[in-house]
Structure 1
Amino acid sequence: MSERIRTGEERIRESERDLDRAVNEIEGFLLWEAEKDRARTRAEAFCAGLPWLTDTQRQEVAVRYCQDQHETSRAYLQRIAVRSASLRTEYEGVYRVLRRRLVTACVSATAVAVALVTVAAAGLTR
């Protein structure tokens, strides 16, 4: 049984990732609850504009309005999540290319500097 022993730093990183996930879940929950509350408020405002509805009809309209709003919001959020993932992939690719270019430029500049110093040193020793 050769389980890899985690270092303190690895445990801290894992703990931070767990904390980040928990915060994201809480934030998502709170945002969704706010969206549901907003849908209820809009449904009530919509029903207020229909004064001829009975209380039962008003409740039914409000429930259906909220359901429709939830479905619309969920579809919208799913589209945003897909787009965010594609943008992340795209930006990570661009970042890799830029990082590679920067490293290449730094290595080239260092090589040029070393060559100039070598030439200058050779010129001084003559």
Structure 2
Amino acid sequence: MPLDQAVNEIEGFLLWEAEKDRARTRAQDFCAGLPWLTDTQRREVELRYCQDQRDASRTYLERIATRSAALRTEYEGVYRALRRRLITAFLSGTVAVAVLVTVVAAGLNAR
């Protein structure tokens, strides 16, 4: 496994763990506003709230990943087109300079 891929997996794992902790904290804060819940009810509400938050986060992250991949493909295409244009312009300029130098040199030799 390449180092970059390993770092990405570790980073993804840490980000997901942080997201789960954030969901747990939000669930506890939510339940703090419901003082009439029994301990069992509180655990159940926290569990369901956490699961709902994780599902929403996963959906959101998947949507971002899909969009990021689409943008990457689009930008790579634009980059290739710009690179082709630049190379074409450079080669055209080089040919034009070479022709100009040849014409000037031929003109100077004809005198």
Name the TM tier (shorter chain): over 0.9
- Is there any run of 5+ residues in structure 2 with no aligned partner, and where? none
- Is there any run of 5+ residues in structure 1 with no aligned partner, and where? 1-16
> Cα distance, 1:77 vs. partner?
0.9
* Match for residue 10 of structure 2 among 5, 12, 26: 26
SS in structure 2 of the partner of residue 125 of structure 1: helix
The separation in 1 between residues aligned to 2:106 and 2:36, in whole angstroms, is 98
Match of 2:29?
Answer: 45
1:111 aligns with 2:78: no
The separation in 2 between residues aligned to 1:25 and 1:66, in whole angstroms, is 23
| Count, aligned residues | 110
Q: Give deviations 1:10-66, integer Å, cap 9, x for gaps.
A: xxxxxxx70000000000000000000000010011011111111111111000000
TM-score w.r.t. structure 1 length? 0.84
> Share of identical aligned residues, percent?
75
- The structure 1 segments of at least 4 consecutive aligned residues displaced by more than 4 Å after TM superposition are none
Root-mean-square deviation (Å): 1.0
What amino acid is aligned across from residue 86 of structure 2 in structure 1? Answer: L
TM-score w.r.t. structure 2 length? 0.95
Aligned ranges for residues 2-13 of structure 1 at < 5 Å? Answer: none
1:124 aligns with 2:108: yes
The separation in 2 between residues aligned to 1:20 and 1:43, in whole angstroms, is 34
The separation in 2 between residues aligned to 1:124 and 1:45, in whole angstroms, is 88
